[in-house]
Chains A and B, each alone.
Chain A
Amino acid sequence: MEATGVTAGGKPVTFPQYLLLNAKRFASRPAMRIKDYGIWQTWSWAEQRDEIRDFALGLKAMGLAEGERIAIVGSNRPRLYWAFCAAQSLKAIPVPVYADSVAEEMAYVLHHAGVRFAVVQDQEQVDKIQSVATDIPGLSEIIFDEPRGLRDYERDHLHDFSDIQQRGREIAAANTSAISDWEAGIRASDGTETSAILYTSGTTGRSKGVMLTAAASVKAAEDTAKFDNMTEQDEVLAYLPLAWVGDHYLNYAQGYVAGLCMSCPESPETVAQNLREIGPSFYFAPPRVFEGLLTSVMIRMEDASSWKKWLFTHYLGVAKAYGEKILEGRPVPLSGRISYWIGDKLIYGPLRNVLGFTRIRTAYTAGEAIGPDLFSFFRSLGINLKQLYGQTEAFLYVTAQKDGDVRPDTVGPAAPDVEIRIADNGEVQFRSPGMFAGYYGDEEKTRETMTPDGWVMTGDAGIFDAQGHLKIIDRAKDVGKLTTGALYAPKYIENKLKFFPNIKEAVAFGDGRDFVAVFLNIDLTAVGNWAERNNISYGSYQELAGLPQVYEMMTNHINQVNRDLAAEPMMAGAQIKRFLVLHKELDADDGELTRTQKVRRSFLAERYGPLIEALYDGSPEKYIETEMTFEDGRKGIIRATVKVADAKVQPVSNAMPEAAE
């Protein structure tokens, strides 16, 4: 690699250094695309460098100084990405902010970060920021990308992005050394400066500003780009929120390091179409996006002709049998290979094309547990979907699955150069190259998150399986112990149960008890369908939930989960011993779920106290009266005698892989 770093022969240690390098080594290769006026516009690396340079020189002339924070607000637009690099080239610190945050949240972040400059997308963001201007006394200059609707605004402190660039060009024209000075400034960096402050989304309390150091960020991105063999031939579509660590890492950081081409969608509504047009080779989406894709495919197949439906079902079966094996290079009989090849021509290929997945080499999902069937569906179509586990504090990667060594229930081994340890309370802790330097302006929080010996606490509880793959089981604070001393992770058990289509909700109990017991909610659509097919009549949800056949079905599901649990030495002690099927659906109107459909455990414990006791005192059934709220807001009493059933607990010594079949 060519010398651009601080010492001759050194590798780049900042993103602007990579910009200069890429503008040389990939000068005419595409760096950035956006669909504008219906046509894909492209900038090469050399052109991108010029755009960034013009903007940087303009910013410098406006007085943006080293170490100063500059906010970036908006959706995925080339100019906003350029603002990152332009700021970094002046050793200023970009602070991306979620474009959809409400004015107060934005004011908090902008004020907390102490920004004087903000680069924003459009009138909406300008209005938002100006509406809370009194809360951000430090903010003086706003630069906008899209002038629409801003014509009549006071322009004293409001600037058009292209005007700033124009100013930069004028400076370069007037002073011949301006450009070389700018480049020299970039080259002089040793990478110890802060390269960005990413604010956490703040689901728990105020958002915190995670400071990332330039050299550490570059190192982390180099590691993972190498891990997934990313090159300048790769293409990504940048559609995730600009302020989120995933977008900043996967698109910006890896993009600069690998020299790949980043494409921006035409508008947030056109992402699916743009995905198909670009055909990225690297793709990231949270599980719910994949779930949505699968649903849309299935719904459209419902409307297809019966012949097409048959083809689809048949070849989906073939894919299920051989697809993943072929993807992972495991042995497959010749007949299977031939069937899969035909299926690929008829179904999988066209389907991948419709989804925009034709050229995907690597796809990742993360953020929450993904259903094994869902995960296998995409893999069996020949899409190399993998899981990773990451955090803003790690500059994303903590673990990642290797090609060919992928399982639905783990998040993979430690990513390159990452060290992981499990604390005594089950909490996952790590040390990584991209590790953050601290929370901006919050020493105390930093100390709370870092152990004295320099490990970062994730707040997640996890276990390593026999192959050294990490499994995230729950939030560390929710993990408890049974009286037997066995580790008990409620969410882990509940997720396993909820992956069965017949089970809509599950609530596990066990902390400080002798064994694990669960409440189940059946899925009315799935179980109702099943009842219809089997000529089982029922009058209400309550009746259906209490049917012996349904209990039998649930027993089978739980036995299956117990077999899975038994196969895992760490979790085998916490198998489900008793369960009941609730007589009513858990509902946010009754306060049993939060509005985001999360179970409110403590509330349930109080409301259904008698049922919980019935689970543990061995009684076969229990009468209960519960108040419930109807959809029109009236309240009523629902009375039921709920049966409690036993499940089969697997002996731990049976923990052979076969037992899990």
Chain B
Amino acid sequence: MNARVQHVELHAEDDGLNPGDVMLNVENVSLSFGGVKAIADISFDIRKGEIRAIIGPNGAGKTSMLNVINGFYHPQEGVITFRGEARSRMRPYEAAASGIARTFQNVALFKGMSTLDNIMSGRTLKMNRNFFWQVLNVGPARNEEIEHRLKVEEIIDFLEIQHIRKTPVGKLPYGLQKRVELGRALAMEPDLLLLDEPMAGMNLEEKEDMSRFILDVNSQMGTTIALIEHDMGVVMDISDRVVVLDYGRKIGDGPPDEVKNNQDVIDAYLGVSH
């Protein structure tokens, strides 16, 4: 860190909430596709500054829950309150504009574009100049681009991916692609970051790196994080509170140690003889 370039701090916006205040509240939410009930009457909250894990066996409704939070699905019942404002039908881009960013279970990057451009694309919503200004690439648009590039470089530095800055992401190994995807989400400087299985398919070392990054994002940028993860070890290590879903129902909610000893949770994971 020999910053001669003005070091730009990346951080979540100050929204008047104090750490520990409820940031997002999910109340009696139900979601069904035709006759299939994906989520049944679930309530939980996410507090500012915490790392909140959503766990559960396959098909428990975890990803659906994330999709509901970020406005991709609209629940038939229930209310979601984000920063005190209840919302009914919200589009994903509105969620993004209000400070919610996410990554996907299957990497969803622009494979032909470089790492740098992919992360830069995460700043689209923060750009003030329209498309035509940017095509002209003069004056204000140019300055704006430089300003955004600085933030992107900060993220590249943060995630230690300088060596692949100019590499098309399609050529990168999976673990690095996941990191780039996290970078793109961070470029939005989100208040709430939703991570859908950030460590799926990674080896131990990559998992450790990713855990470190998630913890650093949380502590240094002050970003609240909700993550879905299968690796129990990781979840128990890094999250502050865990909510457990099974067949669309909530069967547990609390600090990792408490959840670990919850009989319903043990049954759901290990199976139970009927």
Contacts and interface: CB of A to CB of B under 8 A. Distances in A.
B156 A38 contact: yes
Interface residues of A, number: 22
Interface string B127-150: 000000000000000000000011
A34 interface: yes
Contacts of A78: 2
Contact of B2 (A36, A267, A269): A36
Contacts of A39: 5, 153
Given A267-B163, A273-B163, A38 B2 contact: no
A386 interface: no
A149 interface: yes
Contact of A269 (B150, B162, B220): B162
A270 interface: yes
Nearest to A264: B2
Residue with the highest number of chain A CB atoms closer than 10 Å, among B4, B5, B216: B4
Sort chain B's interface into a size bin.
20 to 34
Dominant SS among interface residues on chain A: loop
A38 B153 contact: yes
A77 interface: yes
B13 interface: no
Contacts of A79: 2
Contacts of A339: none
A155 interface: no
Contacts of B163: 266-267, 269-270, 273
A149 B5 contact: no
Contact of B220 (A34, A145, A148): A148
B150 A148 contact: no
B272 interface: no
Nearest to A82: B2
Contact of A145 (B1, B156, B158, B160): B1
A37 interface: yes
B269 to A, nearest CB: 32
Interface in A129-162: 145-149, 151-152
B165 A34 contact: no
A148 B216 contact: yes
Contacts of A594: none
Contacts of B5: 36-37, 39, 41
A146 B160 contact: no
Given A37-B150, A149-B216, A151-B220, A77 B162 contact: no
A79 B154 CA distance: 20
Given A269-B162, A269-B163, A270-B163, A36 B156 contact: no
A148 B130 CA distance: 35
A148 to B, nearest CB: 7
Interface in A31-73: 34-39, 41
B2 A77 contact: yes
Given A269-B162, A273-B163, A36 B4 contact: yes
A605 to B, nearest CB: 41
A346 B162 CA distance: 31
Given A37-B157, A152-B219, A266 B1 contact: no
Nearest to B4: A41
B3 interface: yes
A309 B209 CA distance: 41
A426 B11 CA distance: 66
Nearest to A145: B1
A428 B157 CA distance: 48
Contacts of A147: 1
Nearest to B215: A149
Q: Which of A34, A36, A37, A273 has the most CB of B within 10 A?
A: A37
A146 to B, nearest CB: 4
Kindly name the residue among B154, B157, B212 whose own CB sees the greatest number of chain A CB atoms within 10 A. B157
A41 B2 contact: yes
Contacts of A35: 162
* Shortest Cβ-Cβ A-B pairs, 9 listed: A269-B163, A37-B153, A41-B4, A146-B1, A38-B153, A270-B163, A266-B162, A37-B5, A267-B162
Given A37-B153, A38-B149, 19 more contacts: A36-B1, A36-B2, A36-B3, A36-B157, A37-B156, A37-B157, A38-B156, A39-B5, A41-B4, A77-B2, A78-B2, A145-B1, A148-B1, A148-B158, A149-B212, A152-B219, A266-B162, A267-B163, A270-B163
15 contacts: A34-B2, A36-B3, A36-B157, A37-B150, A38-B153, A39-B5, A41-B2, A148-B158, A148-B216, A151-B219, A152-B219, A266-B162, A267-B162, A270-B163, A273-B163
Interface of A: 34-39, 41, 77-79, 145-149, 151-152, 266-267, 269-270, 273
